[in-house]
Chains A and B, each alone.
Chain A
């Protein structure tokens, strides 16, 4: 489905990003994988050796603009064109509104909004010659639904949704831009949830289970592929109908 295409995935070392890397590899994409921890990326590259694709890994702290610039200087040595960008790296820090200090707020916006904003500025300059150009942002159901203890995270993700809609308009028809809003996904990110909270989200899901990383990765694949070539400026909820 993605043969010959170059896909850049941020936050590829774990969770949703790692599963997306596997799914893209199965579908023939060449991969540019980004995270801070190089060791986990090296292991992932080893896991992906069974596929006949190119896998390049990059350690980069996306909160540092200079590192993003250096990342693209390195990427340009690998390929001149990027076809797909999955802005997946993200962090969550939960705290009640009155207990959230400005540092927490800044951290969340730095990783969840500024980083994908700046990365996408660089990336789209390398996407204009791709006939398959697709940018995907990983938002969250919190962006539209909100959540107790998630005011900072939810605001960073709703800002991301607004950015996605605007970019889709600016970059059409050359580049499609969409987002996915996952519900609660079984990754390291939800380790901080208590068993009670997990049970609550499980019972709220109409499927009576939490999402797996693959539930999200398959929709990322859909948005990256030609199957969605008439879709842009769309936010797809993948939350099991949690309301």
Chain B
């Protein structure tokens, strides 16, 4: 799993400081990661990893850790 690449996507899509503790990030716990930003984040993840996420996975993506797990599932095919 390309964790660093995913971190970079989070930084750019959410517009957060690169020093943020991304590993511990959770949905709706910071102003930058609200429901609107979530859709932007999803789009950026899809573009960066060239995948198409299912709606259930979009709903489940409630933290960076969960995002890592979901993206790696798609990359494994």
Contacts and interface: CB of A to CB of B under 8 A. Distances in A.
Interface residues of B, number: 11
Interface in B13-49: 36, 39-40, 42-43, 46-47
Contacts, number: 21
Given A124-B39, A125-B39, A69 B47 contact: no
A69 B46 CA distance: 13
B44 to A, nearest CB: 9
Contacts of A128: 39-40, 43
Contact of B43 (A73, A118, A125, A170): A125
Contacts of A69: 52, 54
B47 A80 contact: yes
Nearest to B45: A125
A129 B36 CA distance: 14
Interface in A77-125: 80, 118, 121-122, 124-125
Contacts of A72: 52
A121 B52 CA distance: 12
A70 to B, nearest CB: 9
A229 interface: no
Contact of B52 (A76, A80, A118, A170): A76
A125 B42 contact: yes
Contact of A73 (B47, B52, B55): B52
Nearest to A69: B52
A236 interface: no
A230 B12 CA distance: 29
21 contacts: A69-B52, A69-B54, A72-B52, A73-B52, A76-B50, A76-B52, A80-B47, A118-B55, A121-B55, A122-B52, A124-B39, A125-B39, A125-B42, A125-B43, A125-B46, A126-B43, A128-B39, A128-B40, A128-B43, A129-B43, A170-B36
A-B pairs, 3 with minimum CB distance: A125-B43, A73-B52, A128-B43
